[in-house]
Amino acid sequence: MVDSNLVMFDDEFRRIEEELQRLYQQTNAKVLFLVDKNGQLIASAGDTHNIDTTSLASLTAGNIAATGGIARLLGEKEFTVLFHEGDKDNIHISVISQRVILVVIFDQRSSLGLVRLRVKKASEALSRIFDEIARKAEKQEVKFGESPFAEISEEDIDNLFR
Amino acid sequence: MSFINYSSREINCKIVYYGPGLCGKTTNLQYIYRRTNPEQKGKLISLATESERTLFFDFLPLALGDLKGFRIRFHLYTVPGQVFYAASRKLILKGVDGVVFVGDSQIERMEANIESLDDLKINLAEQGYELEKLSFTVQYNKRDLPNIAPVAEMNSILNGRNIPYFEAVAVTGAGVFETLKSVAKQVLFELKKNY
């Protein structure tokens, strides 16, 4: 089955941001990211100024995809948690609802145990939000009143490349 | 699979450059990177071997501009072309919105082109896609070399559907943006059908 497009609306986006903000405070992390499995950055919390978030999102998704490939070769469905330890910073990556990836970057002010514990809780909340988004999309409850595509022309697209 | 964010007013789409080893996929991305304004592009990431062969993928995020108040972003990926990286190629196709097939025009690479196109179809099918239903553009690269196949012949071999095709010399940039524009247009019009 082909994945449907991910459509995000204000309401869900706000709830996701709130959830990330809460997790950010609870874990004492440096930065948090939520990334689509295809490599698109969905939301973030913390100080992202010095980080190339787009590249990070794409590489994280590549990382999860590669690990998922290894898992299937071994007869596992998926490895849901990855952890990379650095000299100063560590990175905790987990898959939520088989669809999105939560990335937590933290240093010595936090700990792996704390991150794991809090991520587990937040995952449940985030999972519920993404289930709702999927349900909405399935029922096509959402109205595309302000569709950006409604009246696009060849010329509009040509202009993008000027 | 596009990501349409009504909250931040952004649309993100994924385009994958596919083709046999050394056909010029990475060269396409490098040219696009060089010729794009700094504010429109992110870093060009290449996960390559020491001999600069693509190991996993290249990645280039492009912000094209606004369309009806929405910021349009394209994420361009290449796959590793060498045959034995099949498992990695499959992963990169996940969530793809549009594919560019870069064919190598040299006569001796025709078999590699055919093999790569078959591989593309198989890998897409495994993800539940059909090439026939996907935004798709073909590029015949390396037109500046002496030992190349005529376009008509390449079309009959690689372009059964008679979809848009472009002759290119990726090292000099000829045909590179035309190819990108063609696939981007198809992706956006596909989105228009659904939203």
SS3 letters across B71-89: EEEEEEEECCCCHHHHHHH
- CB-CB contact of B101 with B112 (8 Å): no
- pLDDT, tens digit, for every residue of B112-147? 999 999 999 999 999 889 999 999 999 999 999 999
AA identity, residue B90: K
Closest CA to A106 of A96, A117, A95: A117
CATH number of the domain to which A33 belongs:
3.30.450.30
Secondary element (H or E) of residue B135: strand B135-141
pLDDT for the residue numbered A99: 86
Look up the domain containing B78 and give its range.
3-194
Contact B3 A36 (CB under 8 A): yes
pLDDT for the residue numbered A153: 80
**What is the average per-residue pLDDT within B78-105?**
93
**What is the average per-residue pLDDT within B2-25?**
92
Give me the interface pTM, i.e. the ipTM: 0.78
- Facing residue for B129 by CB, picked from A2, A66, A148: A2
Q: Which residues contact A151 (CB under 8 A, 6 or more apart)?
A: B68
AA identity, residue A147: S
Per-residue pLDDT of chain A (162 residues; tens, 9 = 90+): 345 678 888 899 999 999 999 999 999 999 999 998 888 899 999 999 888 888 999 999 999 989 988 998 999 998 999 999 999 999 999 999 888 999 999 999 999 999 999 999 999 999 999 999 888 877 765 555 556 677 778 888 888 887
DSSP annotation of B155? H
- Facing residue for B64 by CB, picked from A8, A147, A160: A160
First vs last C-alpha separation in chain A = 37
Closest chain A residue by Cα to residue B4: A7
CA atoms of B68 and A95, how far apart (whole Å): 34
Answer whether A16 touches B (CB < 8 Å).
no
pTM for the structure as a whole: 0.89
Contact B184 A157 (CB under 8 A): yes
pLDDT for the residue numbered A144: 53
Distance from B24 to chain A by nearest Cα, in Å?
22
pLDDT for the residue numbered B156: 94
CATH number of the domain to which B150 belongs:
3.40.50.300
Asked if residue A22 belongs to a domain, the reply is yes
Interface of A with B in 25-64 (CB under 8 A): 36-40, 42, 52, 54-55, 58-59, 62
**What is the average per-residue pLDDT within B84-91?**
89
SS (H, E, C) A106-131: ECCCCCHHHHHHHHHHHHHHHHHHHH
Contact A59 B59 (CB under 8 A): yes
Contact B128 A149 (CB under 8 A): no
* pLDDT, averaged across chain A: 88
Asked if residue A2 belongs to a domain, the reply is no
- Facing residue for B6 by CB, picked from A10, A52, A154: A10
- pLDDT, tens digit, for every residue of A1-20? 345 678 888 899 999 999 99
Q: How many helices (H) and strands (E) does chain B have?
A: 5, 8
pLDDT for the residue numbered A3: 56
Look up the domain containing A45 and give its range.
10-160
Q: Starting at the edge strand that comes first in sequence, how are the strands of the sheet with A41-46 ordered?
A: A41-46, A31-36, A100-106, A90-96, A81-85
- pLDDT, tens digit, for every residue of B168-185? 999 999 999 999 999 999
Distance from A113 to chain B by nearest Cα, in Å?
31
Asked if residue A3 belongs to a domain, the reply is no
How remote is the C-alpha of B184 from its chain's centroid?
A: 10
C-alpha dihedral, A74 to A78 to A80 to A83, nearest 10°:
40
For chain A, how many structural domains are there in total?
1
For chain B, how many structural domains are there in total?
1
Asked if residue A17 belongs to a domain, the reply is yes
Contact list, B134 vs chain A (CB under 8 Å): none
pLDDT for the residue numbered A5: 78
pLDDT at B164 over 70: yes
Contact list, A65 vs chain B (CB under 8 Å): 91-92, 94
- CB-CB contact of A161 with B177 (8 Å): yes
Secondary element (H or E) of residue B123: helix B110-126
Written as one string, the DSSP assignment of B54-117 is EEEEEEEEEEEEEETTEEEEEEEEE---SGGGHHHHHHHTTT-SEEEEEEE-BGGGHHHHHHHH
pLDDT for the residue numbered B37: 92
Asked if residue A69 belongs to a domain, the reply is yes
